[in-house]
Chains A and B, each alone.
Chain A
C-alpha cells in the first residue's frame, strides 16, 4: 500500500495514554506528521507505525481485536518501519503468561513474569516487581536504531513481564534484573523494545529520532 504520506502513525487501541509517545515523536520528527490514531485506514497508509502499549496484555489484545486493528498492525509489521514499545513488544510474541492469552505471533516465543525466586540483588536485597526505573540496555547486536546510543545506556522501564524469544537471532538488547532478559528485538523492518524511549531522556529521543529516519 502507498505510504506517500510520510506519516508516523501511533496505533491507539484505547489502552492508556499515548500523549507521551506522541509528544516525544513530535519532538524528533522534524515537522513530519505524527498521528495517534485508531483508524485502520490511517495506520495502513502511514509510512511508519509505532505500536505502544501499557496495562495488561489480555486487555490490550482484546481491545486491538475489538477495534479492528489486528490485521492492519500485522500487515504493518510485515511491510514498513515498525516500532513496538513495552506491551507493544510483548504482543508481538506468541503467548503471554499474563492472563494466559495468545499474542500476535510475529516472533516465536512467550512472555513470562519475572520469576519471584530470582528477584534478589547481588547484595541480597529483594528486587521489586514491577521493574521500575532506569536500567542498562546492552547491545547484543548492532542495529541502525542503536546509532548514537552508548552500549549499556540506561532507559526507563516499567514492567512485570518480559519476552523470551525462541529465536535468539532476533535479540538486539539485553538487560539484567535478577535474570538477564531480552529488552529489545529486531528483524527486518521491525524493532521492538521493552522500555519507554519516550521517557528515557537523550537515549530515548535518539532512538526515536533514528526510527523516524530508518530505512530498513
Chain B
C-alpha cells in the first residue's frame, strides 16, 4: 500500500456564497462554503478547493474571511483559486489559512509570477490551473478567462513549462467536458500526467463514479476533482471512495 489517490470536491464561491448551493438535506445554510467544506471533510474528502468567481473587485476580500473561517474548522488541505494576480494575492490567501493557491490566467499572462511565487512560498503551495480545449486529435490548447480566450499555448508543453517554473501541482480542466457530465477528457489527462513529474488533478465532466475511477486508471491522474455530483447529494465522497477501492484504486477510507 502507498499513496492514496485523492478526491477533491470543488466549490464555486462568489461574494462569499456557494454558487447554485447544494442540496444536502440537513444543512442549515446550503450557501455557506464553510459548512459545506466541513460536511465534505466529514465524508472523507482528501482536500477541498474553493474557486472564487467573484466578479466585482470590491467584494474580492470576502473570500479571505471564508478561508479564515474554514481553516479554523476543517483540518484537511484547502486550495483557493480565482482572481489571483500577484504574489501579494498568494500571500494574503495563505495567511488567511489556504494551504495552496491556484493561478490560471495570471500564470499565462506572466509566467514569471509562477516562479516568483514558488520561490517565495514554496512550490508545494503553488497550483497552476490549466483550462484546455482539444484543437486536433491528440492536441489541446490552453484557454484563459474561463475558456473564452485562446492563448496559442499547447496544453502539454505549458504543463511542462509551469513545472519548470516551480508549480507544485497542476489542476487540469477540459473545457470540452466541463459541465457535460460525460467524464474527463482521458487522453488529455493522460498526456499531461505522463509528461510531468508533479501531481495532476483531473477536472471537468464528472457525471458518475466510474468517471472518477477512469480519471485515475486511464487518465493516470493523481487526484480527481468534481463539483456537481457531490453538491447535489447524488453521491457522497465516501461512496466515491468505496467505488474506487472496489476497483483496486488505493484511497483513504
Are A134 and B4 neighbours in the complex by a CB distance under 8 Å? Answer: yes
Number of interface residues of B (CB under 8 A): 35
In chain B, positions 169-222 with a C-beta closer than 8 Å to chain A are 169, 194, 196-200, 220, 222
Which of A39-47, A76-84, A122-130 interfaces with chain B?
Answer: A122-130
* Cβ of A168 under 8 Å from chain B: no
Given contacts A177-B3, A201-B41, A201-B76, 16 further A-B pairs with CB under 8 A are: A16-B94, A17-B95, A17-B121, A24-B75, A27-B72, A54-B122, A55-B122, A128-B196, A130-B168, A131-B3, A132-B168, A132-B169, A133-B5, A134-B46, A136-B2, A156-B76
Nearest A residue to B2 by beta-carbon distance?
Answer: A176
Question: A121 CA to B2 CA in the complex, in Å?
Answer: 9
Are A23 and B71 neighbours in the complex by a CB distance under 8 Å? Answer: yes
Are A133 and B6 neighbours in the complex by a CB distance under 8 Å? Answer: yes
Known: A126-B194, A132-B124, A135-B4. A200 touches B75 (CB 8 A): yes
Partner of A20, one of B1, B97, B121: B97
Looking at the assembled complex, report how far the CB atom of B127 sits from the nearest CB atom of chain A, in whole angstroms.
10
Contacting residues, chain A, for B95 (C-beta < 8 A): 17, 19
* Cβ of A205 under 8 Å from chain B: yes
In chain A, positions 10-28 with a C-beta closer than 8 Å to chain B are 16-17, 19-20, 23-24, 27
Could you list some 24 contacts between A and B, CB below 8 A? A17-B94, A19-B71, A19-B97, A20-B97, A125-B220, A127-B2, A128-B198, A129-B197, A129-B198, A130-B168, A130-B198, A130-B199, A131-B3, A132-B222, A134-B3, A134-B4, A154-B4, A154-B252, A158-B168, A177-B2, A198-B75, A199-B76, A200-B75, A200-B76
Contacting residues, chain A, for B3 (C-beta < 8 A): 127, 131, 133-135, 157, 177
Looking at the assembled complex, report how far the CB atom of A14 sits from the nearest CB atom of chain B, in whole angstroms.
11
Contacting residues, chain A, for B31 (C-beta < 8 A): none
Known: A19-B71, A154-B252, A156-B77. A133 touches B199 (CB 8 A): yes
**Contacts across chains A and B counted by CB atoms under 8 Å:** 98
Looking at the assembled complex, report how far the CB atom of B114 sits from the nearest CB atom of chain A, in whole angstroms.
16
Looking at the assembled complex, report how far the CB atom of A28 sits from the nearest CB atom of chain B, in whole angstroms.
10
Contacting residues, chain B, for A204 (C-beta < 8 A): 75
Nearest A residue to B98 by beta-carbon distance?
Answer: A17
* Cβ of B236 under 8 Å from chain A: no
